[in-house]
Amino acid sequence: MSDRDLEQRGIDVIRGLAMDAPQRANAGHPGTAMALAPLAHVLWTRIMRYDPTEPAWPDRDRFVLSNGHACILLYSMLYLSGYDVSLDDLRDFRRLHSRTAGHPEVHRLPGIEVTTGPLGQGVGNGVGLGLAERMLRARYGPELVDHHTFVVCGDGDLMEGVSHEAASLAGHLGLGRLVYVYDDNHITIDGPTELALSDDPVGRFQAYGWHTEDVGEIANDTDALEAALRRAMAVPDKPSLIVLRSHIGYPAPHLTDTSKAHGSPLGEEEVRETKEILGLPPDKQFFVPDDVRDMYREAIPRGQGLRKGWEERLAAWGGDRAEWDALWSGQGLPGWQDRLPAWDKPGEGVATRHSINAVLNAVAPAVPGLVAGAADLTGNTGTQLEGATLQSAEHPEGRAIAYGVREHAMGTVINGLALHGGVLPIGGTFFVFSDYMRPSVRLAALSGAKVVYFWSHDSVGLGEDGPTHQPVEQLAAMRAMPGLRLIRPADANESAHALRVALERPGPTALCLSRQSIPVLEDTSTLAREGVERGAYVLVPGDEDPDVVLIGTGSEVWVCVEAARLLAEDGLAVRVVSMPSWDLFDEQDDDYQDLVLGPGSPILSVEAASSFGWARWADDSVAIDRFGESGPGAEVLAELGFTPEHVAARARALLDELDGLDYDDGYDEEDE
């Protein structure tokens, strides 16, 4: 068999696996994987630099399958080229507890760079991966960082709005070494794309500042595919889009170019007939002959040689190895925590969006991977890095990123930055606009991506912009997300340790920050270090057996402290608990939780947001179960009951209610 014949046999085997796995699972998307088998073959055998035996090698090329429903294509290539993926893994496709999930999940299998599935997200992830490569190459040189990012996307990806934002940003930044292949197969689940799409993708991406090429009907021409990829790789200062006309389900005799081939197994008879066309044994499933497997496994020695050459260059490098190691561990240099500032003047008014910026700039020199930016709100969100160069084509080393008014893209890009490695990204916007980021935040949580969100203007205290900009339900919504660590610091000292926790721990962390100034609280300079880390702590002890416990978060903790003083004048023993993080407090054992919350005392929570979820911790809540008001922030907070006087009255009402009395505090909830 000639080399050309063996290559074609390999491509046909990929198509066979693409049919067999969904057929066995009775679920899946075979058609795109079948159509793109030649492209995958070219990428894995002729183009990409990777080592299956060391999947995390820092200088490997990155591959993103943004149209993640076609994941059987990626799984097949990982198996064939020698990653720790078995043929049994392919047989278990989409089964419970399988390593080969219904969409690619990073960390579930080696060789998967990002978690894709919701369409368009992988497009933005690719921008983050490419941006990380350029940043690190500019800082450390091409002898250590010199790779490309390849992204395959489809019609659905380019219909989703997030891809437009990400593509616009990538074009503006002039990101080379970023190669996208648009699988233009003209098919969606509902039918032909013409039902809903008449864009000119080449013209649109050209307008974004991309290098584009419509290569037409070359989906089965391996030499033409390689040439197109290499032309795109040679563009140094623009991202590239290759528009490839493919035929979904090819060469299935009855289902090529049909929507059924997109989202359903082909059926046993269609699979059999297709295998006969391909020259595969029609009665064998998951057929991989030795010569085909051996051909793809040539990637192992090839990749090992590339990696070992890189390791030799790293060993000979004369740069700061401690800094390099800190980058790839996702941590700061030893002792970076000693740079954390402290505020030791109780009563000093500091908005936590401002204190977090002071903390950020204090630690940034000792956390070399740290980069920060915001969606057009850099100064407002505390993400400004003093003296940092703005990231651009002219300054690829820049650690400050201007995302523009693109929250959707920012969320996906920082996931890509984090999952690339070597970069620890911070992204900021107003908390209410976290709604725009929610899909990417969810994927960060699912992926365990180490990203940090600065979500400022975190309550109705932002004031005059009114209810459209005042977050009410967002705290409850984000707290409900598994894997997301949410911290709402009560003052400047808590904000310092909130960022420390975010930088020390794996996975995503969201910091919810106040627009308005709030006082530095007494004793937080000593208590916040352990208190924030444990999620909640006793700020004002009151008594071993308090009459009532007030729990506050963020900008409402000082209100609780002042309410406790008013109640003390009535002879009541009041404990004040600061609870910056439900997530961190939930990690503590029962003994610590009981120690903080008290021995069965009535508990009143105070938070300028929805009461949803507080019943877990509190007997009653001062909360906002409606939208806010437009007006000066202090007046809005007072109108909605966030004053020491009203909190004290609600505490008395709670005590009277528990004593069987009917207490009227004079505050009409319906007037809220």
Residues with catalytic annotation?
A: 407
Nearest to 535 by CA among 597, 492, 474: 597
- Rounded CA Rg of the chain: 28
Q: How far apart are CA 594 and CA 615, in angstroms?
A: 16
User: Under a CB-based contact definition with an 8 Å cutoff, are residues 3 and 22 in contact?
Assistant: no
Cβ atoms within 10 Å of 228's Cβ, excluding its own: 22
User: Under a CB-based contact definition with an 8 Å cutoff, are residues 179 and 230 in contact?
Assistant: no
Distance of CA 335 to the CA centre of its chain: 28
Q: How far apart are CA 39 and CA 218, in angstroms?
A: 10
Q: How far apart are CA 398 and CA 136, in angstroms?
A: 10
User: Under a CB-based contact definition with an 8 Å cutoff, are residues 40 and 81 in contact?
Assistant: no
DSSP helix/strand/coil, 643: coil
User: Under a CB-based contact definition with an 8 Å cutoff, are residues 567 and 561 in contact?
Assistant: no
Phi-psi region of 444 (alpha: psi -120 to 50; beta: other; left: phi over 0): alpha
Q: How far apart are CA 513 and CA 473, in angstroms?
A: 15
Cβ atoms within 10 Å of 405's Cβ, excluding its own: 13
- What's the Cα-to-Cα distance from 632 to each of 211, 464, 607, 671, rounded to whole Å? 49, 5, 18, 18
Looking only at the bridges linking them, the beta strands covering 509-512 and 537-540 are unpaired
Count the helices and strands in the chain (H runs, E runs): 27, 20
Q: How far apart are CA 622 and CA 668, in angstroms?
A: 13
User: Under a CB-based contact definition with an 8 Å cutoff, are residues 162 and 156 in contact?
Assistant: no
Q: Which residue has the tokens 């997200």?
A: 121
What type of residue sits at position 285? Answer: Q
